[in-house]
Amino acid sequence: MAIGESVPMLDSAARVTGAVQYMVNLQLPNMLVGKIVRSSVPHARLVRVDASRAEKVPGVVAVLSGADLGPQAIYGVAIKDQPVVALDRVRFVGEPVAAIAAESAEATEEAASLVEIKYEELPTVFDALAAIQPDAPVLHDPFPNNIFKHAKLRHGDLEAALAAADEIFEDTFTSPPAQQASLEPHVTAAQWHSDRLTVWTASQAPFMVRKVLAEIFGLAPEAVRVIVPSLGGGYGGKGHVRIEPIVAALARKTGGRPVKVVLSRTEEFVTVTKHAATITLKTGMRRDGTFAARRVTIYWNGGAYADASPLLVPAGMVRSVGPYRIPVVWADSYGVYTNLPPAGAYRGAMSSQTTWAYESQMDIIARKMGWDPVEFRLKNLLRSGEQFATGETLHDVHFAECLEAAVRGLEPHPPPPGAQRRVRVGEVRRGRGFAVMMKSTVAASKSQARLQLSAGGVLTLFTSTVEMGQGTHTALAQIAADAVGVPLSVVHVVGPDTAITPFDSTTSASRSTSMMGSAVMVAGKELRNKLIALSVPILEAPAEVLKAEHGHVAGPTESIAYADVLRHHGLATLEASGEYATTFGIDPESGQGVSTPHWHQGAGATEVEVDVETGKVTVLRYAAASFAGRVVNPRLAQLQNDGNVIYGLGPALFEEIIFDGGQAINPNLSDYMIPSFRDIPFELKSLCLESEEGELHGIGEMTLPPVAPAIANAIEDAVGVRIKDLPITAEKVLRALREKEG
């Protein structure tokens, strides 16, 4: 069995020798360097874009501006509102106004400085709550209140349930915009061969890119080929469609020469962000510590274009309720336009914001009602067979086991020696905090896999799942090996390349091991059936008595190696395909239905130290647990679980893009810090729970969303102050301590 083994990633040697061919290394014959010229103002009518001087710079081959494009060059995954390059208006600082293709980076830089742009500035709005006011400037005419998406959940009689509650808790929690900050930036290359387009791109969603490009350029999807190499991280930031449209449009002006655009770190901050969110929870409790009702109101700051938000805002609503037995739930989730860069998925998409809210409020309630925070959660956590607020019945849920595993991870024992050497000034106090998360995956999606066995004994898996560091190609190869009955050493993985590899919706929402893994299993079974059918005349036995396993088709008396079955029939290869699709969904008016094929589950427990003189919070210990169903590769699972906690420390404690007048003022990794070795608790452990049913779940995000609320809960346990606005900086903690002292 390959499944269950901690085999190293298939291309490990390449990963430690710098030989992975990321997009930045792509070289094509005659390739040009591309650069995007961006708006310097947050909202304006474009009076004039004059590229005539830029075009004369030696080495410049093409300059793209809105004048080159027609109205069909307005795209969007769900709402077509975003121009490939600004047409007559800009709506955020950093919006593409022109693009340059030249022989050298120096030529693009010089040309970029010579593009003359005349703006007529318009009123601006940056905050989602300000943008929904009647007098706010309107970003897109079809949405006069700036609300481009309103998702609703209506489960039970809210008014009556709140009226009957013994205690009402109402709290508002906020999360700021943040950056996915993969170390590899967005990189895309494009080349036209007459009316056929090839795009190489660091993307998590090759088929979504193909569909959108085909629509923009009026092509059949098959006329667009999207090739995706290994990514240097994604975390949602490379989901959906990013710079592919503008690079493809620029390449159309180069006379067939390929052009590649590599974004600078600064540009990353205006290309996609984590949604800023304001979440209000009004929760009615009964005296016995059970829930009566909950009302959720969320405003997501979507930025200037809807992008993927029309898909994420409803998902965020389902992810906002929390994993608790709440009989009556109403939720309203609003996606709002503002003059900020577009927001998109961010590891633990929308759950990072919602878990911050509902798990912070859990402790507020427990504290007020006199409950131990763990006992209070265990009393109310949903169990298998119970109904969620969408009306769906839960199966295979293990929220309580996740929480219990995390709590056990914090059992008392002496601190590790390294922690003793920390310099301490003044008074420090310790506290513990806990949090649980519940996240849907993509409700309706499809994965297809193709397996090809060669007469040479090699099994090739063709898949459009993107390898972005999560080790998915290794895990899928392990699944393929077992599904066909061959050793892992003969399995090769090819893809994604939309001309070669079959359809997959996206590599996101921790869906790949579950969805693509299931498609691989279907294909493997089909391949075995074909091998058995081909062996019937060779082994002279009926198919019913033949078994295909361990690389052989075996009958009652004889067996034959897979490769020999192919050779016997003169076949060079034998192929089989598999598909796995889900078709769930919820009713847009009531939010009732089935929102996910299975639930993602995770928990965290932490012990922190708070310096009451400076407000500084040190995370001393952290224990995390996620539910994996069945672990394909324990080490890769552990890396993702640990990685989620480490990633989550950033938005919990310090990550925030600060905008001043719409301009990001910390768009670099010096002023915008991400966690380093010095931020990681000396003791960090993570666990993957499995179940007897053995259903494959993803584990790409589950231990991230609990990090921030677990820390906030530990801070209140330590020093009695409640922080409701991320990130939890020393300044905020100190201010709260001063306010508490009066």
Partner 1 sequence: MTVLKANGVEREVDAGTRTLLAVLRDSLGLVGVKEGCGIGVCGTCTVLVDGEPISSCLMLAAQAAGQDIVTIEGLAREGQLHPIQQAFIEQGAFQCAYCTPGFVLSAVALLAENPSPSADEIREYLSGNLCRCGSHLNIAQAVIAVSQSDGL
Tell me which residues touch partner 1 (CB under 8 A).
6, 8-9, 12-20, 22, 24-25, 181-184, 230-233, 235, 264-265, 416-418, 421, 468-471, 635-636, 639-640, 642-647, 668-670, 674-678, 680, 682, 684
Element holding 586 (H helix, E strand): strand 585-586
Report whether 293 contacts 329 (CB < 8 A): yes
When the beta carbons of 147 and 674 are compared against partner 1, the nearer one is: 674
CB 218 within 8 A of CB 183: no
Give least dist CB 283 to partner 1, A: 33
What is the C-alpha radius of gyration for the chain, rounded to an integer number of angstroms?
A: 27
The distance of closest approach from Cβ of residue 54 to partner 1 in the complex, given in angstroms and rounded to an integer, is 23
* Start-end of H helices in 274-380: 309-318, 351-369, 373-380
Q: How far is the CB of 236 from partner 1 (least distance, A)?
A: 12
Q: Work out how close the CB of 19 gets to partner 1 at its nearest, in angstroms, rounded to a whole number.
A: 7
Pairing, β 329-337 against β 291-303:
parallel
Distances in whole angstroms, Cα of residue 739 to Cα of each of 132, 184, 276, 701: 32, 42, 26, 35
Distance of CA 366 to the CA centre of its chain: 31
Distance separating alpha carbons of residues 62 and 83, to the nearest angstrom: 19
For partner 1, which is the closer residue by CB, 109 or 401?
Answer: 109
| Closest to partner 1 by CB, 290 or 676 | 676
Q: What are the backbone angles phi and psi of residue 658, rounded to the nearest 5°?
A: -100, 125
Least distance to partner 1 from the beta carbon of 445, Å? 23
CA atoms within 13 A on the CB side of 654: 18
| Among 38, 167, 54, 31, CA closest to 107 | 54
- What are the DSSP E strand ranges found in 342-457? 343-344, 428-440, 444-454
Closest to partner 1 by CB, 9 vs 461, is 9
Q: Whole-number minimum distance, CB 639 to partner 1, in Å? A: 6
- Burial bucket for residue 141 (CB in 10 Å: 0-12, 13-18, 19+): exposed
Shortest separation between residue 687's beta carbon and partner 1, angstroms: 14
CB of 400 vs partner 1, minimal distance in Å: 26
Instruction: Please return the burial class of 682, using the count of CB atoms within 10 Å of its CB with bins 0-12, 13-18 and 19+.
Output: middle
Nearer Cβ to partner 1 (459/645):
645
Considering the complex, state which of residue 161 and residue 637 has its C-beta at the smaller distance from partner 1. Answer: 637
C-alpha to C-alpha distance for 534 and 626, rounded to whole angstroms? 43
472/506 with CB nearer partner 1: 472
The tokens for 10 are: 């298939």
Nearest distance from C-beta of residue 472 to partner 1, angstroms: 11
Query: Closest approach of Cβ 179 to partner 1, in Å?
Result: 10
* Element housing 567 (H / E): helix 562-568
Q: Identify which of residues 353 and 640 has a Cβ nearer to partner 1 in the complex.
A: 640
- Minimum Å gap between C-beta 416 and partner 1 is 8
Q: Which is nearer to partner 1, 373 or 727 (CB)?
A: 727
End-to-end CA distance of the chain: 64
Closest CB to partner 1 among 73 and 624? 624
Handedness of CA 191, 192, 198, 203 (dihedral sign): positive
To partner 1, the closest distance from the beta carbon of 23 in angstroms equals: 11
**Distance from C-alpha of 412 to C-alpha of 410, rounded to nearest angstrom:** 6
* Nearest distance in Å: CB 676, partner 1: 5
Long-range contacts (CB closer than 8 Å, 24 or more residues apart) made by 657-660:
657/176, 657/177, 657/178, 657/179, 657/269, 657/273, 659/126, 659/177, 659/340
Strands (E), 590-705: 593-594, 599-611, 617-629, 659-660, 663-664, 683-690
Residue with smaller CB distance to partner 1, 380 or 626: 626
Quick one: tokens of 27?
């070289």
Beta strands 32-38; 273-274: pairing state: unpaired
**Tokens 């109403």 belong to residue:** 330
30: left (phi over 0), alpha (psi -120 to 50) or beta: left
* C-beta of residue 173 within 8 angstroms of C-beta of residue 298: no
Q: Smallest distance, Å, CB 680 to partner 1?
A: 6
**CB closer to partner 1, 245 vs 648:** 648
Which is closer to partner 1, CB of 419 or CB of 494? 419
In the bound state with partner 1, the residue whose beta carbon lies nearer, of 422 and 569, is 422
Q: How far is the CB of 257 from partner 1 (least distance, A)?
A: 19
What single letter denotes the amino acid at residue 430? R
Q: Which is nearer to partner 1, 17 or 557 (CB)?
A: 17
Q: Residue for token digits 């793209």? A: 64
> CB of 718: closest distance to partner 1 in angstroms?
24
Burial per residue of 370-391, b for 16 or more beta-carbon CB atoms within 10 angstroms, e otherwise = ebebbebbebbbbeeeeebbbb
Nearer to partner 1, 230 or 339 (CB): 230
* Maximum alpha-carbon separation in the chain: 90
Measured CA to CA, the distance from residue 217 to residue 72 in angstroms comes to 8
Measured from the CB of residue 350, what is the shortest distance to partner 1 in angstroms? 20
Question: Tokens 């231990």 map to which residue?
Answer: 703
Q: Indicate the residue among 261 and 721 with the shorter CB distance to partner 1.
A: 261
